[in-house]
Structure 1
Amino acid sequence: MLFLNKTDWSAIRICASFLIGRGHRNILLVAVLIYCFSETAHAMLRSTADTAATGFVVQTAQPGYLSLVKDGVPLPMLVDPQDHRGVLRAFDNLKKDFVRVTGNSSHQKGSGQSKIIIGTYGRSALIDSLVRKGLLDSKELAGKREKFVMTVVKQPLQGVESALVIAGSDKRGTIYGIYELSAQIGVSPWYYWADVPVRKASQLYVKPGVYTQGEPKVRYRGIFLNDEAPALSGWSKATFGGFNADFYEKVFELLLRLKANYLWPAMWGSAFYDDDPKNGPLADEMGIVMGTSHHEPMARAQAEWKRYGKGSSWDYAKNKAGLQDFWRGGMDRARTWESIITIAMRGDGDEPMSEKENVGLLEQIVRDQRRLIASVTGRPAAETPQLWALYKEVQDYYDKGMRVPDDVTLLLCDDNWGNVRKLPELEAKPRKGGYGIYYHFDYVGAPRNAKWINVSQIQRVWEQMNLTYRHGVDRIWIVNVGDLKPMEFPISFFLDMAWDPDRFNAGNLMAYTYDWCRQQFGEAYAAEAAGMINRYAKYNHRVTPELLNDKTFSLIHYNELDSVVNDYKTLAMEASRLHYLLPDSLKDAFDQLVAFPINACANLYEMYHAKAMNDYCYERNDRRANDWADRVKACFRRDSLFTEHYNHSIAKGKWVHMMDQVRIGYSSWNEPAKAIMPNVRYLSEPVAAPAAKVFMETDGYIAMEAASYSAASSAPGVEWTEIPDLGKTVSAMTTLPPTVSLGNNTALEYKIRVKEKRQAKVIALFSPTLNFNGNRGLRYAISIDGGPETLVNFNGHYKGELGQWQARRIIESVSLHNLLPGDHTLKIRFLDQGIVLQRLLIDLGGLKPSYLGPRESAALNSRN
């Protein structure tokens, strides 16, 4: 039994007030049920969380534990002043983190018997002396990449009884170890970028043993700040004066705390190296590998061409000398810094090159660029990391036979909507430069921009990136994150997965969400916050806010529009309840990471529902049309108030301009100059309106979730795997691992019952996986009652075009079958890996248009 105290009842009253304002009936009952459900969900999710995530720093002493903080005073810390400057900077940040946690700095010259010793193997005399004494194993560090080891050692130095030692194999390894300790003592990587409060502590202890996260599985892991106007550009100008070293210091620190190492900087009218000459040296000092975007070759920004470009045009056939001079300047500037050089070229402004600029010319451009690289650096071009981005039409050049030297990384790309376009064949010969992936959380372009808020489900990100990694793509993972905020959660997931893709599977993604929320909000609120983040990402992945309108969901069929609006209303009410219960210290972070995206999107759904009802009632001379028109106006006004709150109230106005992105009023792929309220109509003289499951056919259709199969078969080594919450309704089914042949009998079966002799249209709904397998397409076979199979290739024709199936985030594949009355078994057999099935709809003449389709049909009995 659940007992509710005074605080609980106060929270329930807040929920009730929220619902009253949105037209819910039975207010108190709904509020109590949701409150109780959230408490139950909290306990259930907490029980499934990964206990290993609790780490090696604790607040309760046990025999053998090292006291890290005693009575609010941290241990003294030592570092060799000759270590890398980036290590020394991170060391200073660690000292500041201890002050944030304890309120005190360590007594560096005190007589304590224990210390914290930090350094890089081969660079720090302190660490090298511990290796010589046999207190550290050199085999754990020598020749390793970006690895750290953290352990407690006895008598490391004269007069020192014991020490916590953080030793890195190289500069970034040490830095990662430093920031891992920061996270363990209670400083979230998002302490600045999301105002996550530091966990205060007066006593901290280190468990005995050796702690390491090994080497990263993906070599270069990073983000692309893109499409950054008006939000990030406005905020950076107001806060720092622009995209200068003060701004990038915050970005670099965040990346290092997230164990990333790679950045494509903001470039809409900006030039990283040119806007502030301190930017490049700062990145190199802190340990960030710099690159430029897929269409900015040779370490130069597009904006620099507009400033300094010589000659007639951005056309190598006409302006070879001018472009080479321009590129030489970029290489000369970056030659001593750690960089990945983008080679080849696209048209100016991220446009396709003209058809006259063919494969032969591009190959000549690459040869000339590599000669220039060798000339400027004074060493073979192969010793400078380079990438060639197969973005949009550039992939066509590759498919037509264009090749680059083997040491160049081939940067494969998604289709801008999170669907991987091309992957190496499983049996492909290894490349010295390997393969990378350029992925998108943010996009500007047709069929419509996706810039405002997070629409990326980590379930989908995992499924696509797992597929990518299993195909050998492990040199570069970079993701377009737009303004960085509000993509905090998927950024963390993407970079954590890039460090160790093997850590994740379809069954532990919700536990990851819980652990992430525990780091931001603490144990008491983690489960509820995790559930909210998971649900709003699922709702937004169905259709982006920019694409959402009053006709997206059906007002008439399946109660669809009412259902999705109520789902978001309920979620917003839960967020408001939890916000009320949170201590004040957590509210700014919760607003940014949970409450704002939920409340703002719930309001959009309510506005478009009101618009649909206004049209419906107006066309029927129903006097309620005027009330719905007023509600549209109220929601439109409320949207501006949400923006005002984010920009000017959260964290005392710290995030001014960060929510300036327009999301209402789209009429084409690009955003309008300002928000435009949907058109509403008023009635001047209103008049009253006139008064093993056997799935059953109802109203001329049958709807089944993919996971509701009655039988499954698979080839040796292949497992059918349900991915919870992936897709538009409940879940999705796929075959794992994606590298094992499916053989001839990897299939799912479904039992159905139809009423009459009919021709049935079977609609299989798939996640929009592309024909990454060398353009062969993804195929399945479908049959009824063991009869002849219909073979279907649902994407073999795809050539890179963008269309409605991407905007709707679903592929609908249709086959026709003749059915007699009675029971039947439908069998769908997968012929290729990478297929992700969400639902099956059988249209027997009664299926009506809607966005999500009907709920799953009633079943007569359980599986047999």
Structure 2
Amino acid sequence: MIKGFLLILLITGGIVKAQTLPVNEDAPWPSYMLHQAVAKSFRIAAAGKAAPIYVDPDDWKGVLRAADDLSDDVRKVTGTSSPVFKDKNFAGEAILVGTIGKSHIIDRLIAEKKIDISAIKDKWESYLIQTVDGQLVIAGSDKRGTIFGIYDVSEKIGVSPWYWWADAPVKKSTALYVKAGRYVQSSPKVKYRGIFINDESPSMSGWARAKFGGINSKMYVHMFELLLRLKANFLWPAMWGNAFNEDDPMSPVLADEYGIVMGTSHHEPMMRSQKEYTNRKNEIGPWDYTTNAENLKKFWYNGLERNKNFDNLITVGMRGDGDVAMGKGDDEANIKTLRKVIADQQDIIQKVYGKKTEKIPQAWAIFTEVQRYYDAGLTVPDDVTLLFCDNNWGYIRRTGPDKEKKRKGGLGLYYHIDMNGGPWNDRWINSTTIPKLHEQLNLAYQTGINTEWIINVGDLKPKELPIDFIMHYAWNPDAIPADKTWDYTVNWAGKIFGKEHAKEIADIISKYTKYNLWRKPEVQDPQIFSFVNYNEADREFKLWNDLAAKAEALEKKIPADAKDAYYELVLYPAKASAGVAQIYLDAGRNNLYAQQGRVSANDYAQQARDLFEIDKQLSNRYNDSIAGGKWKNMMSDVHLGYKQWSMPRENSLPPLVDVTPLAQPTLGVAVEGSTDAWPGAEKKAELPQFNALDKKRHYIDVFNRGTGAVEFTAKTNKPWIKLSMLNGSVEKEQRIYVDIDWQAAPAGNVEGNIEITQGDTKIPLLVNTLKKAAPVAKLPYYGGYAGEFSIPAEQFVANIPGKYAKWIVLPDLGRAEACMGIYPVTAPSTTPEKAPRLEYQIFLPNTGSAKVCLGVLPTQDVNPTRGLRIAVAIDGQAPQILDARKGFHDEFKEYTSASLAMSPGLKPLPPLGNNYALVSRRKPRRDEVFDNLRWLDVNLEVKTPGMHKLKIFMIDPEVVLENIIVNPNDKYPSYFGATPIKHKANVTPGGLKIPENK
């Protein structure tokens, strides 16, 4: 584990002493705040008095404004504001704020050798906070360095960066002190860190119109402040029918004054928004560089001239009008055109700025079809940042190529936690987990993508948590290793809601995002999860139900000043997400039960309708009541009833079926493992096999197809078949559990029968049991005498490091408890002989072929020079190498332009060829992107029955292992696969077998 370190110089009696103290692991910025005086500490506020703030009036406007914010933050916390003096002279115990070379105050302290700025001088966005001669100094290396230092103090005294955007309560205190010492904050590891407001209609646009009269400077100043408080520095503004520079000319002015670097999105070059073009389309002509270059160059020149005095990161390149692929020609023709476009844009930049382009920050977004152009050899000048992208759903498409590592302009990343378009929308709620963000952003950072990170955040709300994490992580990725993502989440919750409930809140927000990642709301479907196998739908419904109940119960314990924040950040996303998932589960059960003729199908239809009304109420509360109506319209995205990628006109329920009961009480029977019902089905009813190793119980559903109550009896023909009930009266349905008395059951494969009777109606059910002695096992193992079994990736019995890398646990990543990934992710590809490997103890009762399915995260083709390979072997056999790229589906090859991706007839991506989860499960909308999992299949030869070692070898470092399924049984299809059952070792240390059934 890598730890950051902070140099603190303690000044005692005029002698400087150096100490090294560890930085908090859950955040890059250490704590130095006290609530009571200690020796030589500086008093910010106490006893109704607050220290004054001095700032040079000639310092940056953003610094002056942030100083005023600090004054008001002291008031928010203590009730007494710190008076601000915009004066070059200072006296007494005061807070001295300023920028090196811009502040007479700071320069004077430097000249008098009161402060040593050698650690931050000429550095990017660095600052120091130091107590000296009874004063507190906040000195920045540049404008934003000073502003970040100011806001660092604000956060430490108790004002969350989310105090406005999430109504996070201010932590009240009667006394605020700073420890004596010198706190140096080095430069961020990622230079440009920011967000892209996108897909902002209907939610943000409706909210901004209601609150500010539009998406204008009155709104943006709140966003600028949030970014700075998060120590971010960059923004792509809203562009759906919005023109940042022209809708309100004060927006760019204030952005620059605040200290925000502005850019434009991946398809809006040269500081010109798409709307600025569409407003002038008749004047400019077509957005076609092959026929209209001169007019487009003039358009770009004028836009750049307008913004040249502001702090910009200029997007270069060109895509088609409206976020589509450019031109009517083939890729070769488009590449030729793009070369001309970029050369001419460079010429314009040089003319406007009157300096070499290498001095002007620029970025070229390698987005969708542009990836193909880059792969085909299209290059841009060395001073331009290459902005690589993800697959629209949070998996990066390239790691930093070796050939670009020395590029002057560096490498950047455009990443989505919100998506409107192909392969499908992902807009409404947060469905991005912190562990997933960590895994993907670490992969980017470690491979040199560290110049710019721009994150598509949609409406900003309700993506507060991932935004906060990404901006913290971008400052110093080493401060938050994979095994500390939970600590970060607890810390985040604690800062907003206090330590008392921090772990409970972290648990709720971690789970709702994780569960959403199983199936994002927009791609839910009533048939995704199995209602008859492995209790899958029941388990998922309960998990969501328990989560919503926990969030509701905790709300009662939250203090009044934090209830608005709790609703926005915790209760609404958890309960509303649960409601959507449960609507689709209820609809699926209704559809199945209606097919079986159950009158209870109507109850599930009504339950879905009730949840639909609750969903409306939850959104209405968010929009109309929370924070006194502050967020009116903000939760307006349609999120139920998607039938294609694009947002429906309104929320709608999935298809529901109402059953008309028969006139008389009529028996129906269904069994676990089958969607059929009896009487009526052609084949005989049969329960899944019972076996003595797993000792699972199975169930029978007795239900009514008519009015009144069904009087039934249940009996068995074998005394060792045990039923949870033998008779009853059923108005709707009753579940009977079937167990086996394994002490009394005969050995071997034995059949028995159960008979369910109503009057003259008799329904026989077959029971099949398998009783064999438990295999001798020195280690815990998975597997059994029959059927499919699954192994969580982290449940290995051995983890053997390789020559250059090792497997590590990535907690809470993926669908279950953890995944296994490679450290370091920059390790070289290798052969099985030199590779790190994982070993799993498995029991295979038969010789012959065993099918093994590896569930890996859907990592993209990040390094096309080699592959995405992993190897599998059993015992000492030669490893078989699997390449995840074989059959790999790149949605950007399918959706070659956004015009295709935005077409109403867009279909989900086709499944991979030989794919266990996608083919054998035969569910709608199945795809590795939607499932967040890719399956790799291999057949292994089992030469002897018994215990075996299944070995998994790293070949390429980016492959992340989540799950292993052995001998998939297509008779019992499901989304997750068989529930893992880990068998205990049954050999004592002395080598004696433990008696069976003990």
TM-score for the superposition, normalised by structure 1: 0.91
Q: What's the counterpart of residue 263 of structure 2?
A: 291
- Identify the match of residue 308 of structure 2 among 335, 341, 365: 335
Aligned partners of 2:130, 2:77: CA distance in 1, in Å? 21
Q: What's the counterpart of residue 144 of structure 1?
A: 123
Query: What secondary structure does 2:556 align onto?
Result: helix
Post-superposition shift, 1:551? 1.3
Q: What's the counterpart of residue 36 of structure 1?
A: none
- Identify the match of residue 190 of structure 1 among 132, 151, 162: 162
Higher helix share: 1
Q: Percent of counterpart pairs with the same letter?
A: 40
In the alignment of these two chains, the number of paired residues is 810
- Identify the match of residue 928 of structure 2 among 805, 811, 828: 805
Establish whether residue 360 from structure 1 lines up as the match of residue 336 from structure 2: yes
Task: Report the aligned-residue RMSD.
Answer: 2.0
| Higher gyration radius (CA) | 2
Aligned partners of 1:703, 1:851: CA distance in 2, in Å? 12
Moved more, 218-227 or 319-328: 319-328
Residue pair 1:553, 1:561 contacting (<8 A) in 2 also: yes
Q: What's the counterpart of residue 323 of structure 2?
A: 350
Establish whether residue 859 from structure 1 lines up as the match of residue 980 from structure 2: no
Establish whether residue 575 from structure 1 lines up as the match of residue 554 from structure 2: no
Q: What's the counterpart of residue 23 of structure 1?
A: none
Higher strand share: 2
Query: What secondary structure does 1:369 align onto?
Result: helix
Query: What secondary structure does 2:659 align onto?
Result: coil
Establish whether residue 313 from structure 1 lines up as the match of residue 403 from structure 2: no
Q: CA 1:847–1:125 in structure 2 vs 1: closer, same or farther (change >3 Å)?
A: farther
- Identify the match of residue 794 of structure 1 among 884, 892, 896: 884
Q: What's the counterpart of residue 166 of structure 1?
A: 138
Deviation digits for residues 229-265 of structure 1, max 9, x if unmatched?
1101111111111111111100000000000000000
Residue type of the alignment partner of 2:125: E
User: What does residue range 126-141 of structure 1 map to in structure 2 within 5 Å?
Assistant: 126-141=105-120
Q: What's the counterpart of residue 229 of structure 1?
A: 201
Q: What's the counterpart of residue 447 of structure 2?
A: 471
Q: What's the counterpart of residue 268 of structure 1?
A: 240
Aligned partners of 1:790, 1:142: CA distance in 2, in Å? 55
Query: What secondary structure does 1:475 align onto?
Result: strand
Q: What's the counterpart of residue 19 of structure 1?
A: none
Is there any run of 5+ residues in structure 2 with no aligned partner, and where? 1-23, 670-701, 703-778, 893-908, 910-926, 990-998
Post-superposition shift, 1:355? 4.9
Q: CA 1:202–1:379 in structure 2 vs 1: closer, same or farther (change >3 Å)?
A: same
Aligned partners of 2:230, 2:95: CA distance in 1, in Å? 22
Query: What secondary structure does 1:720 align onto?
Result: strand
Aligned partners of 2:635, 2:865: CA distance in 1, in Å? 40
Query: What secondary structure does 1:131 align onto?
Result: helix
Residue type of the alignment partner of 2:876: G
Query: What secondary structure does 2:305 align onto?
Result: helix
User: What does residue range 133-532 of structure 1 map to in structure 2 within 5 Å?
Assistant: 133-154=112-133, 162-309=134-281, 310-356=283-329, 357-426=333-402, 428-532=404-508
Post-superposition shift, 1:67? 1.8
Post-superposition shift, 1:797? 5.5
Q: What's the counterpart of residue 5 of structure 1?
A: none
Moved more, 747-756 or 804-813: 747-756
Deviation digits for residues 824-850 of structure 1, max 9, x if unmatched?
211111111111000100125466321
Residue type of the alignment partner of 1:610: D
Aligned partners of 1:107, 1:715: CA distance in 2, in Å? 61
Residue pair 1:218, 1:477 contacting (<8 A) in 2 also: yes
Deviation digits for residues 73-97 of structure 1, max 9, x if unmatched?
2111111111101101111111111
User: What does residue range 459-858 of structure 1 map to in structure 2 within 5 Å?
Assistant: 459-686=435-662, 687-688=665-666, 689-690=668-669, 691=702, 692-697=779-784, 699-741=786-828, 743=830, 744-795=834-885, 798=888, 800-801=890-891, 803=909, 804-819=927-942, 820-843=944-967, 845=969, 848-858=972-982
Query: What secondary structure does 1:859 align onto?
Result: coil
Deviation digits for residues 380-406 of structure 1, max 9, x if unmatched?
222211111100110100111111110
Post-superposition shift, 1:363? 0.2
Residue pair 2:594, 2:657 contacting (<8 A) in 1 also: yes
Q: What's the counterpart of residue 71 of structure 1?
A: 47
Query: What secondary structure does 1:139 align onto?
Result: coil
Q: CA 1:208–1:782 in structure 2 vs 1: closer, same or farther (change >3 Å)?
A: same
Deviation digits for residues 518-575 of structure 1, max 9, x if unmatched?
1111121211111111111111112111111211211111111111111111111111
Post-superposition shift, 1:66? 1.8
Q: What's the counterpart of residue 8 of structure 1?
A: none
Q: CA 1:731–1:196 in structure 2 vs 1: closer, same or farther (change >3 Å)?
A: same
Aligned partners of 1:416, 1:738: CA distance in 2, in Å? 22
Residue pair 1:283, 1:289 contacting (<8 A) in 2 also: yes
Q: CA 1:752–1:362 in structure 2 vs 1: closer, same or farther (change >3 Å)?
A: same
Aligned partners of 2:494, 2:879: CA distance in 1, in Å? 50
Aligned partners of 2:310, 2:403: CA distance in 1, in Å? 35
Is there any run of 5+ residues in structure 1 with no aligned partner, and where? 1-47, 155-161
Deviation digits for residues 456-478 of structure 1, max 9, x if unmatched?
11101111111111111111011
Establish whether residue 117 from structure 1 lines up as the match of residue 89 from structure 2: no
Deviation digits for residues 775-799 of structure 1, max 9, x if unmatched?
5221112111211322211125647
Moved more, 420-429 or 537-546: 420-429
Moved more, 507-516 or 108-117: 108-117
Q: CA 1:50–1:487 in structure 2 vs 1: closer, same or farther (change >3 Å)?
A: closer
Aligned partners of 1:343, 1:515: CA distance in 2, in Å? 39
Post-superposition shift, 1:327? 0.8
Aligned partners of 1:229, 1:84: CA distance in 2, in Å? 35
Aligned partners of 1:147, 1:586: CA distance in 2, in Å? 33
Deviation digits for residues 177-197 of structure 1, max 9, x if unmatched?
010111011100000000011
Q: What's the counterpart of residue 729 of structure 2?
A: none
Residue pair 1:232, 1:658 contacting (<8 A) in 2 also: yes
Aligned partners of 1:256, 1:53: CA distance in 2, in Å? 14
Aligned partners of 1:564, 1:328: CA distance in 2, in Å? 56
Residue type of the alignment partner of 1:602: A
Query: What secondary structure does 1:336 align onto?
Result: coil
Aligned partners of 2:969, 2:65: CA distance in 1, in Å? 69
Aligned partners of 2:401, 2:75: CA distance in 1, in Å? 52
Aligned partners of 2:514, 2:95: CA distance in 1, in Å? 44
Aligned partners of 2:881, 2:566: CA distance in 1, in Å? 49
Deviation digits for residues 480-529 of structure 1, max 9, x if unmatched?
00000000010010011111111121111111111111111112121111
Aligned partners of 1:438, 1:827: CA distance in 2, in Å? 36
Query: What secondary structure does 2:569 align onto?
Result: helix
Post-superposition shift, 1:64? 2.4
Query: What secondary structure does 1:212 align onto?
Result: strand
Aligned partners of 1:862, 1:649: CA distance in 2, in Å? 60
Moved more, 318-327 or 349-358: 349-358
Post-superposition shift, 1:862? 8.1
Post-superposition shift, 1:111? 12
Q: What's the counterpart of residue 35 of structure 1?
A: none
Residue type of the alignment partner of 1:213: Q
Aligned partners of 1:75, 1:775: CA distance in 2, in Å? 60
- Give the structure, 1 or 2, with the largest relative contact order (CA under 8 Å, sep 6 or more): 1
Residue type of the alignment partner of 2:810: I
